[in-house]
Structures are given as structure tokens and as C-alpha cells.
Amino acid sequence: MIELQGVTRIFPNGVRALNNISLTINPGDFVFLVGPSGAGKSTFLRMLFREDVPTEGKILIDGKDITTMPESRVPYLRRNLGIVLQDFQLLKRRTVAENVAFGLRVVGASASVINTRVQEALEQVGLSHKRRMFPTELSGGEQQRVCIARAIVNNPLILITDEPTGNLDPMISQEIMQLFLEINARGTTVVMATHNHNLVNKLRKRVLALVDGQIVKDEACGTYAYE
Amino acid sequence: MSLANLNFFMSEAATNLRRSGMMSFITISTIGIALIMMGAFLLATMNMESFLYQMQAEALVTAYLKPEVSISDAKTLSLRLTSLDEIENIMVVTPEQAAKELFSNPDDQQLMQIGITPEENPLPTTLRMKVKAGTHLPPLLEKLKAEPLIDNFSYGEELFQQFQGLSHLLWVTSLVIVIMLGLASLFIVYNTVRLTLYMRREEIIIMKLVGATNWFVRGPFIVEGFIQGMVGSFLAIIVLFATYRFALGKLAELIPFFTASIGFEQMFKLAAKLFMMGLVLGISGSLLSLRDISRFSKSTPEGV
């Protein structure tokens, strides 16, 4: 479970990116985070994987306050999270399989465990036949699927994703979204920031709308509209 | 650290060394050149030390006894001094023997002109002491000074003190140069690692995103530093010792009685020291440039 209690983030330049946000996301939820650019969506997500910390308030993940967590414990928090960002963030000099294996290597998994889990993750995203290819040899949609495979290879409790379809055409976006739905169906909580009206309106999942750092809408089967 | 991690660090380090060839070359060369210079100074100092050691080993201390000391007292003193650890043997030279030695040389006939004659002999009884090899002279001299029957003594002190002073100066200079060169090469290693760190920033960000600890991120860089230090020091040792051998050969040609004064054991110790210094330079350069890895590996700058 993710719980935000009065979270405020004020940057050193005085910008209030998040303003007194309190909410709860239950295990297995699928949550869309919508809002205009600069509304604070990315800051919200970055707080969840402790890339940033609130100026005020608390964030609890699975009952643990991650805002006061020492820096040395952050890697262990992230091993329970999957993170997929808009700009793919793949290592161009490594093969698909090596990119996916990265998440397992950092936890010191053995070669046999890595092989099995990488194969499973690639099968889930439909790319097991391209395991030896390099990211530059893949399409944008395929690259994003590799990122998803890397994010789920550790079986995370929560998948945090920022504009995962931002650079993709509508057809590919639907395929990617289908993948997230499948991952969510297996019990992983998904928190996704997006500008994609069509997908949000079509899927009718929980929608949190952020405007000027404040939650202006929290609907269980919501639509994209937030004005 | 697990075996899987160690394997990963090794393969990452090998790949990165290959990919950033120029950077690795700069780091290895810097370490190598610094170590050659450090080694050259250390070699010079060791040679000087060795020369001083030889001088001491061949030292002959002559003690001049007071005029009133009888031959039997001189022999008693000689027996007592022979029991000292530093003394190899002692020869008692009476004034008559000393005079004979003097006058056996035709040139010394001139001594008569300054009042020394076989009949009127002002020479004191002397003790000629052969010092054991490896003896440190100053403590022995202190013991001799404390002997009431000894008037004064000689041991080639001027030359000895000059060499000792020079040796001391060389040690201090070597130390200063070793520290300065060490810091300079550390600075260069730090900067080259820092540059490769920027080149691999994306990789580090991804490692941190998937849950790598700071030490895991540092691992390959430390192994790289270790390898660079090792290769740099190996090259330095080869170049230094080859040059030293060549220089010794040339010196032997120029100076017929010249012999190398440093033995294999000392050379081995010097090589070990240089090797350790190379490793310290490589690893500490990497560690220094990785100290702020947490701040460096943020996926987006603060405020975005």
C-alpha cells in the first residue's frame, strides 16, 4: 500500500511542485496520474521511488516511511519497485537480455536465476526471440517493452511509470498498455503518469488529476478530464 | 561480496577498459611515469645508503690514548674494548711502533724537521680498532668518548658526516618528491575517472534505478583502478630496472672498480613498494572520484 500524508514539495527556487497531498493507493490498484505539464506528476512519481523527498509530509510504502529512510536503504526499496520512464533508458551497448538482466545483476543473482527470469520477463513482453539484439535494432515500442521487462524481472510490488507511451504511436501505445494491464492483473500495483486521453478514457481505471501541485480529482473509474 | 558480483565487476571493468582505451592509457601512463620518477629517487637514495653502509663496514677507528697511559694499561683497555659487540679486533700500537712505521717511509724523514725523532718520540700509544660489518658508528663513538684513558680518536669523520648528511638530504628530498608525485598522479587519475564517470552516467542512473547500492556502482570502477594501478606499476618497474641495469653497465665501463651496491633482495623490496604504490594510486583515485556517487546518479536534476 502507498500512503501520502500531507506531502508538500517546495524546490529551492520557491516553486511549490506538490501542495499538501494526502491519498492512499491500495495493493493491486491501477492508478492514472493526469494533469497538464508542470502540474507535479513527475515529482509525485520521483517521490515514490525516493529520487526526491518531500519538504513536508510523509510517504509510506507497505507501512514504512520512505521519507526518513537512510540513503543506504534506498536501493533495497527500489528492488521492490519497477520503474519505466518515457525515454526508454536502455543501455545501447548491451543486448536486450543484458539490459533486462541488469535488475537482477545488482541484487547479486546467480547466472542460472538470471537466465530463467530474463527469459520469463521477455516472454511476458513478447520479445524472447530478440534477446540477442541491441536496443538500436528495435522499434520504439519494442524498446519500451524491454524497459517493462527490466522493470518486472524482479517481480516488483509496485510499477511506477512516467509517460510510458509518450514517444509511441497509438497502436503501439495500446499494446504497451495491454502489457501493463496484464502485469496489474497478476497483483502488481501500477501508478502511471500519462497525457494519453484515449487510453485513460477507454480503460476507466482510478484517475488522480494533479493541477498546480494539488489533487483536483480522485475518481475510481475516472476519465481524463480534470478541468 | 558474492562471487556473482565479483564476476560482474571484473567483466564490467574489462569491458570499460577496452571501450575507454584512451582514458585508460592516460591513467596507466600517469601512474607509470610517477612511479618511475619515485623509483628513480628511491634507487638513488638506496645506493647512497648502501655506500654509507659499506663505508661503515670498512671503518677503522683509531683511538689516541693520553700520554701518561702505560702500555699495560693500554693492553687492559684493549681487552675490555674487544668485548664490545661493535669491535672486530684491536691492535695496540706503541709510540715506538708508530715511529718505526713513520720512519720506514723515506718521505717521513721530513718529520724530523718538525721535531719528531726516534729518540724524542711525542707519538701517543694508539688503539687501532677494526669495526664489525654493519655497525652503526655513532653509538660506538659515544662509548669511546666516555673512556677516560682515550684522549681523542679519528675515523674519517668528515667524509663520513658528509655522506651521512647527503644521505639524509636525499631521503628527505625523496620523501617530498614521492608525496608530490603521488598527489599529482592522484589528481590526474581522479580527473580521468571522473571523465569516464560522466561518459557512463546513463548506465549509473539505470543501475541506481534498479536498486544498485553505491558500493555496487563503485565496484567496476575500483576494479578498473586496481588493474590500471597494477599495469602502470608493472610497466614502471620494467622500465626503471632496465634503465638502472643499463646505467650500471655504462658506469662500470667508465669507472673500472665500480660495482653495483644494491642486492637482489633490496631491488625486490623496491619493486614491491612501487607495486603497492601503483595499486594505492589506482584504487584511491577511483574511490575519490566516486565519493559523491549518490548526488551524481540522480535521474533528473532537482527542480524538474
Segment holding A215, helix H or strand E: strand A214-219
User: Which tens digits make up the pLDDT trace of A201-211?
Assistant: 998 999 999 99
Q: Over the range A17-42, which residues count as b (16 or more CB within 10 Å of their CB) and which as e?
A: bbbebeeebeeebbbbbbbeeebbbb
For chain A, the domain total comes to 1
Scanning every residue of chain B, which has its alpha carbon at the shortest distance from the alpha carbon of A112?
B4
B contact residues 107-166, partner A, Cβ 8 Å cutoff: none
The whole-angstrom distance between B225's CA and the closest CA on chain A is: 20
On whether any CB of chain A is under 8 Å from the CB of B299, the answer is yes
Q: Which three cell numbers stand for residue A207?
A: 484517475
* A2: nearest Cα among A107, A81, A85, A103: A81
| CB-CB neighbors (< 8 A) of A50 in chain B | none
Task: Tell me the mean pLDDT per 10 residues along chain B, length 304.
Answer: 76 80 86 89 81 69 86 88 84 83 63 64 84 75 86 76 77 86 84 81 85 87 90 94 86 68 82 92 86 68 43
Q: Which triple of cell numbers denotes residue A67? A: 521519507
Residue B302 domain-assigned (yes or no): no
Instruction: Please answer yes or no on whether A78 and B303 come within 8 Å at the CB atom.
Output: no
Chain B residues touching residue A51 (CB < 8 angstroms)? 298-300
Query: B35 and B49: one domain?
Result: yes
Residues on chain B touching A81 (C-beta within 8 angstroms):
211
**Counting Cβ atoms within 10 Å, is residue B177 exposed (0-12), middle (13-18) or buried (19+)?**
middle
Residue A78 to residue B209, Cβ atoms within 8 A: yes
Domain boundary among B155, B185, B202: B155
Residue ranges making up the domain that contains A98: 28-39+73-219
Q: In this complex, is the C-beta atom of A149 within 8 Å of any C-beta atom belonging to chain B? A: no
Using one digit for the tens of pLDDT, what is the confidence trace for A121-145?
999 888 999 999 999 999 888 998 8
Average pLDDT over residues A30-57: 92
From residue B293, alpha-carbon distances to A6, A43, B214, B251 in Å are: 30, 21, 7, 52
Q: pTM for the whole thing?
A: 0.70
Is A11 in the B-facing interface, judged by CB distances under 8 Å? yes
Looking up cell 669491535 gives B87
In tens, the pLDDT along A2-25 reads 999 999 999 998 889 999 999 999
- Domain residues for the domain of B41 are 3-55+161-296
Q: Does the distance separating the beta carbons of B213 and A51 come in below 8 Å?
A: no
Q: Which of B155, B187, B210 is the last residue of a domain?
A: B155
- Per the listing, cell 647527503 goes with B166
Amino acid B71: pLDDT:
86
What CA–CA distance (Å, rounded) separates A50 from B144?
77
Contact assessment for residue A84 and residue A158, using Cβ atoms and an 8 Å cutoff: no
Q: Please check whether residue A16 lies inside any domain of the structure.
A: no
A175 located within any domain: yes
- b/e map B4-38, b = 16+ CB within 10 Å: bbeebbeebbeebbeebeebbebbbebbbbbbbbb
Pairwise CA distance, residues B301 & B112, whole Å:
97
- For chain B, how many structural domains are there in total? 2
B98 and B122 share a domain?
A: yes
* Domain shared by B91 and B195, yes or no: no
pLDDT tens digit sequence for A166-207: 877 888 888 888 889 999 999 999 999 998 888 899 989 999
Residues A51, B203: C-beta atoms closer than 8 Å: no
How high is the pLDDT of residue A109? 84
Provide CB contacts within 8 A for A31, sequence distance 6+: A25, A189, A190, A191, A192, A205, A206, A207, A208
